Chain A
Amino acid sequence: MLKTQEIAINVGPQHPSTHGVFRIILKLDGETIVDAEPVVGYLHRGIEKLAEDRTYTQVIPYTDRMDYLGAMSYNLGYVQAVEKLMGIEVPERAEFIRVIATELSRIASHHVFLASMALDMGSYTGWMYPFRDRELVLELLEMLTGSRMTFSFMRIGGVADDLPEGFIEKTKEYLPKILEGVDEEEGLLAGNEIFIARTKGLAPVSVEKALAWGWGGANLRASGYKFDLRKNRPYSVYDHFDFDIPTGANGDCWDRFTIRLAEMRQSVKIIEQALEMIPEGPIMAKVPKVIKPPVGEVYHEVEAPKGILGYYVVSDGSTKPYRMHVRRPSFINIGMLRDILIGTKLADFITIFASIDVVLGDVDC
């Protein structure tokens, strides 16, 4: 009698498609996944513990390193949390610069999402085009902050530097090119029959399930729930801008892909409006040289490219935080992985994992 056997395969920390050092132990029956056990921690650097031993300003570079692809939002969340704790009001020009930087960072992060998803599915060209366009965004960010990836641009009370000369013109020159690139990538992938066959109907997630597992950001919006922190609980100056919140229908991989394409276009729209509306003024509030927040705790959430990012900062009145905890979106998002993987194929694991858009620096902190 023919006997079949399940094999346990280790999609190890070193793998071309795990977006970092992610490990998952899959039990396969042929090509179908019957069990999955994610193992994380290969990139754990102890950021939350390190934060307890640094002054509030010294923690800012650590926040970049969590999601190194969309680092501005992580800066933003942290400094806004501390500002909330201290009751600091940030000048308007600084807020606008923050928005421009954050949205540029969001576009860069989504470029990597598009590229990685394409590469994981076998399209080497689909990987090159977003990275080519990402170069434009990184050039702008380098002009602004001096760094291409981990910016440490925001400060408690404002931003580190003003917009350099020629920045606005250059941004206006590059934004149409970015939009063109998004159209090109959409034509290459979203119009491709193989892509549609591989992503449509794969791992649909209902709104209830997404909310129950704590999903947020683009993944939740793909399921059909119109929730964006920038619109529902506006922070910074996002209430000044007019932009849409794209939502999907079924919450399958196809929706998660197309939603982020649409989000990139909305980000470009926000940047265009911000460049028009930016006022003159100081870029830093009157903040004491030594930052000593009052005793207390604060929790502040922002909309990061990967999802809902939350910072919980506890202060004991000294110059160093007593405790900082980061509610990291990628870590929360992969909680559901086992649930949605069972019953799919090995190739689907790659697609699903790519569509959730995680980055391991964010998972492990």
Chain B
Amino acid sequence: MGENLFVGMAHWLRAWLENQRFLPLVTDVLLMLLAVVGVLAFLFLNALFLIYYDRKFGAWVQARLGPNRVGPRGIFQTVADTVKLLAKEIFIPNNVDRWPYLLAPVLIFTIPVMLFMVIPFGKGMVPYDLNLGLLYFVAVTSVETIVLWMAGWSSNNKYSLLGAMRSVAQMLSYEMPVILAMLSVVLMVGSMKLSDIVAAQQKVWFIFLQPVGFLIYFVAVNAEIKRTPFDLVEGESEIISGPYTEYSGMNFALFFLAEYTNFMLAAMMVTTLFLGGWNAPFGWTFIPSWLWFLFKMYFVISLFMWTRWTFLRIRIDQMLSFAWKFLLPVALVNIFVTGFGLYLYRMIRW
């Protein structure tokens, strides 16, 4: 019913633009710009809702109410917070390294937005279906480490420096299990194209075929997005705000927004890789594919939030040894077993 809502809109727009007799290049560019605007709109609306959801979820876990003043049931709380942050004075402390200091918040938000390009939001709804979609995803995520380092180093603040060093160590260490867990899925599909991965899960979702891979990915991506138990980069009780300490106003808002965007991306990747993407379970296709995608994404988000509000922070050396001495070997063994299993499967089939 609403299945082809967005695809239909895109086709209609393309047809309308072509009717206007623009050059095909102009049509393409206009459509791409519209796609970007659409993605940004989705992003902002979701981030706004997500921050509110996080606080309400946490309140529910902690036997309290959460935001309930601004708007009915407090749904405009995030808007109020954003307006507050926008209205704050952006001051630049004295001895900061100006260029990295000012560039860091811009870049930290640009990078996650770039990643929305390859995610299949629904059937036929990938903004740009790269053949190496997964590789693109991993490569661009890695650049974030540098941006956090820029923020922490340029702030000329020892707490920020500690936070930046921690973030570099953490994100570098957890890249490996993330990639290896993704690799086990790629082994099963044989392609890095994200829409192929989703299509391969029509019968069985990969969470059932790759339970260990799912667990490794879940934990490692939790560390990549720096949420409790891995939130020592922004370990509020120790280093105040880590690399974000010296930022205020819109700068800080951009960091905050980027954190929640990363959060969404992580949930989307878990959905795409392991929970079947936009595939409907049990063949219930009366709910459109993009709605299934949203449901699954929010289910994974709720799982992340559940762990966030239950657990406490892990210490840096324990976290690093967990990544290198536990997750990495397990991920390697998982790949070995997957490869061996695939080989056996093909042998039996023939």
Please list the residues of chain A having a beta carbon within 8 angstroms of any beta carbon in chain B: 7, 9, 15-17, 28, 30-31, 118-126, 128-129, 132, 188-189, 192, 194-195, 197-198, 345-348, 350
Contact = CB atoms under 8 A, between A and B. Distances in A.
A315 B239 CA distance: 48
Given A188-B310, A194-B229, A350-B237, A7 B315 contact: no
A189 B312 contact: yes
B231 A122 contact: yes
A126 B64 contact: no
A347 B315 contact: yes
- In the A-B complex, the 4 residue pairs with the smallest Cβ-Cβ separation, listed nearest first, are A122-B313, A123-B312, A128-B62, A17-B237
Contact of A7 (B158, B232, B238): B158
B62 A129 contact: yes
A197 B318 CA distance: 8
A137 B10 CA distance: 62
B312 A122 contact: yes
A17 to B, nearest CB: 4
A120 B232 CA distance: 12
B288 interface: no
Nearest to B236: A16
B204 interface: no
B63 interface: yes
B58 A124 contact: yes
B61 interface: yes
A345 B169 CA distance: 15
Contact of A128 (B64, B158, B237): B64
B89 to A, nearest CB: 20
B290 interface: no
A9 B316 CA distance: 18
Contact of B62 (A15, A16, A124, A345): A124
B121 to A, nearest CB: 32
Nearest to B310: A125
B249 interface: no
A347 B310 CA distance: 19
Contact of A120 (B61, B237, B316): B237
B81 interface: no
A345 B319 CA distance: 13
B312 A347 contact: no
Nearest to B235: A122
A111 to B, nearest CB: 15
A249 B310 CA distance: 28
Nearest to A16: B237
Nearest to B159: A9
A345 B316 contact: yes
Contacts of A31: 162, 166, 316-317
Contacts of A346: 162, 238-239
A122 B240 contact: no
B237 to A, nearest CB: 4
A17 B238 CA distance: 7
Interface in B219-250: 228-229, 231-232, 235-240
